Amino acid sequence: MEIRRVGVIGAGQMGTGIAHVFALAGYDVALHDVSLPALEKAVQTVAGNMERQVARSRLKAEDREAALGRISIEPELAPIGGADLVIEAATEREDLKHKIFAGLVPHLAPHTILTSNTSSISITRLASGTDRPERFMGFHFMNPVPVMQLVELIRGIATDEPTYRTLVEVVKTIGKTASSAEDFPAFIVNRILVPMINEAVYTLYEGVGTVASIDLALRLGANHPMGPLELADFIGLDTCLAIMNVLHEGLADTKYRPCPLLVKYVEAGWLGRKTKRGFYDYRGEQPVPTR
């Protein structure tokens, strides 16, 4: 089927980035969030990010204006149901995602494909709460969406082949590359990445190294562009903890036990860059390690 209109649910960092890339690729995008200020901020963020692309000669000014004109904001959920493709990009909480899909189902067009940008939650379980598990998939973008090239495509047990093929083509049209994953906890990227971050937190917790020495060691010793604790702050410590909990509960293996120090930081509300404190303190001119 042809996809022309895309509905994005959630105007946070991921939803904003997803709206950005789809609008640039020529799709009409309806962006929904329960918070009107969040929607207004998202449009401002997209405009600012596109302006930087223009300044760097990566985007023509007229293309920026055309892309921004394709984005509309929808404070109500119902109008999103008329889209050809819906991408849910809300907070990584399964109960919230089920609630969103339950509210959306009565308003869906017969042909609409439903997807979730979840980074770890079972696609089969999310799909089972809708009226169309055969037209439901995981559509996992990497952060920051306009920069990162990969999209994980995750089929639930009921996902049909036409839905999968349609989304493979959609990924191509937005200039990204698809990687197919089976529906197991955390899929591919986070199944490998987040346990590495959790192990880095254990290394800090056990006193093997400081925040600075651990990040330096992985940047220079493994040629990673960003240290694991710096990366955790960028992702959000609450998101890292949520993924570790999904892995621990879903696979029942003690190697996925979240580090108690990670839990403590989340309990303190030190979630990384978005709260100005995590493994680094971002309130000054330069990030300062908190341990």
5-181 and 191-282 agree in CATH topology: no
For residue 1, pLDDT over 90 is answered with: no
CATH architecture entry for 5-181: 3-Layer(aba) Sandwich (3.40)
Asked about 98 being catalytic, the answer comes back as: no
Q: Using CA atoms, how far apart are residues 13 and 145, in angstroms rounded to an integer?
A: 9
Asked about 140 being catalytic, the answer comes back as: yes
Q: Using CA atoms, how far apart are residues 280 and 212, in angstroms rounded to an integer?
A: 9
Residues 6+ apart with CB under 8 A from 137: 113, 114, 115, 116, 123, 153, 154, 155, 156, 159, 163, 164, 167
Q: What is the mean pLDDT of the chain?
A: 96
112-144 confidence digits (pLDDT tens) = 999 999 998 999 999 999 999 999 999 999 999
Asked about 190 being catalytic, the answer comes back as: yes
Q: Of these residues, 49, 152, 198, 230, which one is catalytic?
A: 152
222-249 confidence digits (pLDDT tens) = 999 999 999 999 999 999 999 999 999 9
Asked about 51 being catalytic, the answer comes back as: no
Q: CATH for 191-282?
A: 1.10.1040.10
Q: Of these residues, 116, 119, 120, 122, which one is catalytic?
A: 119
pTM for the full predicted model: 0.89
Q: Using CA atoms, how far apart are residues 223 and 231, in angstroms rounded to an integer?
A: 14
Domain ranges of the chain: 5-181, 191-282
Q: Of these residues, 32, 190, 198, 230, which one is catalytic?
A: 190
Segment 19-47 mean pLDDT: 97
Three-state DSSP string of the chain: CCCCEEEEECCCHHHHHHHHHHHHCCCEEEEECCCHHHHHHHHHHHHHHHHHHHHCCCCCHHHHHHHHHCEEEECCCHHHHHCCEEEECCCCCHHHHHHHHHHHHHHCCCCCEEEECCCCCCHHHHHHCCCCHHHEEEEEECCCCCCCCEEEEEECCCCCHHHHHHHHHHHHHCCCEEEEECCCCCCCHHHHHHHHHHHHHHHHHCCCCCHHHHHHHHHHHCCCCCCHHHHHHHHCHHHHHHHHHHHHHHHCCHHHCCCHHHHHHHHHCCCEHHHCECCEECCCCCCEECC
200-211 confidence digits (pLDDT tens) = 999 999 999 999
Q: Of 32, 19, 18, which is closest to residue 70 (Cα–Cα)?
A: 19
Segment 88-107 mean pLDDT: 95
